[in-house]
Amino acid sequence: MNRLEGQRTRESGERAILVGVEWKSRRRVPGGRSIKHLNASTEDSLQELRELAATAGATVVDTLVQSREAPEAATLIGSGKIREISATADATDADVVLFDHELTPTQQRNLEDELELKVLDRTQLILDIFARRARTREGRLQVELAQLEYLLPRLSGQGVAMSRLGGGIGTRGPGETKLETDRRRIHRRIKSIKENLESVRATRGVHRRQRDAVPLATLALVGYTNAGKSTLFNRLTSAGVLTDARMFATLDPTVRGLALPSRRRILVSDTVGFIRRLPTTLVQAFRATLEEVTEAALILHVVDASAPHAQEHVAHVLEVLAEIGAAEIPQLLVMNKMDRLPADAQPEDILRRLQNSEAAKPCVRAVALSALTGVGIDVLERAMDDVLPFDPMVRTRFRFPLSESTSISALHAQGRVLHARYSDSACELEAEVPASLKQKLARFVS
């Protein structure tokens, strides 16, 4: 019995070996010498893979890196590194090997044959986490669609892998119920899911039109995973959504109302976190959910200011926003987790660091805060009030008959009264009100 057939199923999680690859490039320098340039982000990407593995419930027992000029067609990494991984797996009693690169179906099959272990790539790991996190019917459908579309070209020659139903990373969702189906059944299921998601998209369109009938702007929270979006969302709206230091704590979107300092009411939407090399199948599958971002009047782009690679995180988020057609929507950059920085850290320096990569140029303003402690939340709310391009506040004088108590109450509830004067027959008010309310009360404008 080989290791793949006899591997254990642990309720407490699997033991994983991480494998990364550095692609070497050569260039000539004066004197004819050739120097090598290794991918500087490999270490960061592997650290992210480590966090993904922990989120999926695995214990990382070792990390190996292979330096190559080009990928090896059959196995990506070559026979020497395969022997090293096999020896490490024996020494650490590993269950699964996680690659920080997308593997072709042939490479994955060859690696499993050689290592006699379960082999998963970065995309499969992310899909597994999404399968764990999805709670709503829509979320589960979106994850299943992404998994099936990833699985379909990998059906040929799955062999042992098609019969492994024992649980663990990479076997949730359709991984448990669809691996033994044929292509025709999977195609039918994909078609059915897409039809259901189109129905969801149509329903969202109806809800959006209903919201548009009432002048309420929608703000979308976006950002790199674990940037603190859900903590900020809870701080702003008291929604009580799940907050977790692990990646992709929020998968299903949540929308809540919020009253700004001007008393304008808006809707705030929390969305799934982004990540470098977010699988294309996931972006496509979650397009119905991400439409909430494309319809937003303002994007709150949350970035972890304490992260050493905040520039890259912002760039990755902007890349996904461009992919879903939201690149031109005004953004307010929210530099979160300021409580983790030294006391003498200056927000201007952080913003300058982000702007050096041209990452912050779409942002109309930047705000530094700590969603955890609440410091700076009032500044953010005022900034949202100032830059929100929807239903602007206008200063207007009104004259109401005293019998119009409902209209007077609406003005007090939705606007900010600056001066008030009462007489026996009328009430004269000077107030800052949303333009939509001024239009609604146009007959009382003096």
| Domain 3-134 = CATH 2.30.30.110 | no
Neighbours of 372 (CB within 10 A): 16
Q: Count Cα atoms within 13 angstroms, Cβ side, for 274.
A: 28
pLDDT of residue 77: 92
pTM: 0.69
pLDDT of residue 368: 93
Domain ranges of the chain: 3-134, 214-387, 393-444
pLDDT of residue 427: 92
99 phi, psi to nearest 5 deg: -95, 140
Q: Is 344 a residue whose pLDDT tops 90?
A: no
Query: Dihedral of the CA atoms 272, 278, 283, 289 (nearest 10)?
Result: 0
pLDDT of residue 141: 83
Question: What's the CATH superfamily of 214-387?
Answer: P-loop containing nucleotide triphosphate hydrolases (3.40.50.300)
Q: Is 32 a residue whose pLDDT tops 50?
A: no
Q: Does residue 18 contact residue 100 with C-beta atoms inside 8 Å?
A: yes
Most confidently modeled range among 285-299, 313-327, 328-342, 384-398: 328-342
Burial of 416 (0-12, 13-18, 19+ CB in 10 A): middle
**Which amino acid is residue 281, in one-letter code?**
T
What are the Cα distances from residue 321, in Å, to 65, 98, 230, 311, 314? 31, 28, 19, 15, 11
| Gap between the Cα atoms of 428 and 296, Å rounded | 36
Structure tokens at 6: 């006899």
Tracing tokens 């379960």 back to the chain, one arrives at 118
pLDDT of residue 370: 94
DSSP string, 157-210: T-GGGGG--S-STT-STHHHHTTTS-HHHHHHHHHHHHHHHHHHHHHHHHHHHH
Of the candidate ranges 75-79, 223-227, 380-384, 436-440, the one whose mean pLDDT is the lowest: 436-440
Q: Is 440 a residue whose pLDDT tops 70?
A: yes
| Gap between the Cα atoms of 122 and 136, Å rounded | 24
The tens digit of pLDDT for each residue in 49-86 reads 998 898 888 999 999 998 888 888 999 998 999 999 99
- Going by pLDDT thresholds of 50, 70 and 90, the confidence category of residue 113 is very high
End-to-end Cα distance, the chain: 89
Looking at the chain, the whole-number percentage of residues with pLDDT higher than 70 is 76
pLDDT of residue 215: 60
| Gap between the Cα atoms of 21 and 445, Å rounded | 69
Q: Does residue 230 contact residue 241 with C-beta atoms inside 8 Å?
A: yes
Give residues with Cβ within 8 angstroms of 342, minimum separation 6: none
Average pLDDT, the chain: 79
Q: What is the mean pLDDT of residues 399-415?
A: 88
The two beta strands, 25-28 and 34-37, are antiparallel
The answer to whether 3-134 and 214-387 have equal CATH topology is yes
364 phi, psi to nearest 5 deg: -85, -20
Q: Is 97 a residue whose pLDDT tops 90?
A: yes
Q: What is the DSSP letter of 224?
A: B
Widest CA span in the chain = 96
Q: Is 38 a residue whose pLDDT tops 50?
A: no
Q: Does residue 399 contact residue 426 with C-beta atoms inside 8 Å?
A: yes
